[in-house]
Chain A
Amino acid sequence: MDQFLPILLMVVLASAFAIGSFIASKMLGPRSHLHAAKVGPYESGIAPRRELAARFPVRFYLVAMIFVIFDIEVVFLYPFAVMFRQLSTFGLVEMASFAAVVFIAFAYLVSEGALDWGPGKRLGSRAGAPVTRSLNATVRRVARPGTPPSARPPVLVEGASTGSGAGARGLDPVRAGASGPHGEEG
């Protein structure tokens, strides 16, 4: 039981620190009369009736939940590690089957992209976008000024340029500012 004395001491110290800093900030901090108008964000003077919830990707929650599951798996490893020698092969096989089953679930998880981070997946690649107008798409993809010629989307216009400040020749005359034929649609 006395090996828990340090833990108890740490609990006491931590609470003392927390309570102490709370009291100290109350005593030493500025006494301001907290008015709702002073504390709220200033937006053109109109007080918002209700705060909107910030958009919160649910990916965070998924990571936390997967963490719990693998945490439980790890917890089972502790007694196994302690009894490893006594359990020898039999124990190894049963622990390996347990770990293999959870690993298959992990493989499924990774393949579903549940643990992927980074910007949202681009649904539909750039290369697949039609470069000429058709019945379904009237938007023509053009390169931004300054992109190297190798990165430009292919343009099926005769005399395709090798690149200039304004981009490929297939650039909309409207965009370039010139008054082109009005048959072109933006």
Chain B
Amino acid sequence: MSFLAATGLAIGSAWALYGVGTALVLAGALGVVLLRNPVHCALSLVTTIFGIALLFVDQHAYFLAAVQIIVYAGAIVILFLFVIMLLGVDRKEARAPENVRLLVPMALVVGAVAVAELLALARLQYWAAGAKSTTQSLSGPGSDIQKLGQTIFTSYLLPFEMTAALLVIAIVAAVALVRRRSQPPPAPPRKSAGALRHPARAPEAPGAAVRPAATAGAGRSAAAATRSPAAAASTPKTSNETREGRAVS
């Protein structure tokens, strides 16, 4: 009797961590998709990340579990929360339900097709046939972080250095897109008489000065701004600059 209990306990404990991790991942994923308030969705994402970290621990990849929590939950979810804060989508007025009526039926159909494809691939039998070494745990002496260090800095040296390039372009892209330039430079003075037909009017651009770069409306006011001739553009520009200077402090 105790032997059965012991084996049951052994098998159970081997699967416990995996079960808990999977349950957290799925619960968090469902939460991200189904919850209404975007902040709640971000917190569900943290649950998912924690579940993935548990799965890493189950695979004896302790360093990766820690990195997952530090980088993902500690930095990337913070980024999500910043965006939610920036855009203000967590206010009640912004949380309107989707307008597409067929969305839920379409999602159900696509989901059913995906499950059917998975079952077809599995052929309803064993379908994890593959190389044996990938299903074992890490072999050899040394901890996981040491093995990781060895592999990164020898075999995967090129991907490592290319990651530096990836980080660089992320920085460059971020700075390039967030730069504050409120108004396009004035069009060069035109020789045709048509240039004077449009009165110089202050562009409706000041709102665009403080909104993040990719917003609608900037294109329209830019089109209006480019029509004003060069001479009159300096006055709107200075008033715009003072408005911008006040607004960003």
Contacts and interface: CB of A to CB of B under 8 A. Distances in A.
Secondary structure dominating the interface of A: helix
B153 A80 contact: yes
A79 B152 contact: yes
Secondary structure dominating the interface of B: helix
B63 A79 contact: yes
Nearest to A69: B167
B174 A65 contact: yes
B249 A94 contact: no
Interface stretch (B32-40, B73-81, B222-230): B73-81
B168 A101 contact: yes
A67 B75 contact: yes
Contacts, number: 137
Interface in A116-157: 118-124, 136
Interface stretch (B86-94, B100-108, B131-139, B197-205): B86-94
Given A53-B87, A55-B247, A71-B75, 11 more contacts: A58-B178, A58-B212, A64-B75, A78-B145, A79-B153, A82-B145, A97-B164, A98-B161, A108-B172, A123-B245, A124-B241
Interface of B: 57, 63, 67, 70-71, 74-76, 78-79, 82-83, 85-88, 91, 93, 145-146, 148-150, 152-153, 157, 160-161, 163-165, 167-168, 170-172, 174-175, 178-179, 210, 212, 234, 238, 241-242, 244-249
Given A58-B86, A98-B160, A91 B167 contact: no
B164 A102 contact: yes
Contact of A83 (B71, B146, B210): B146
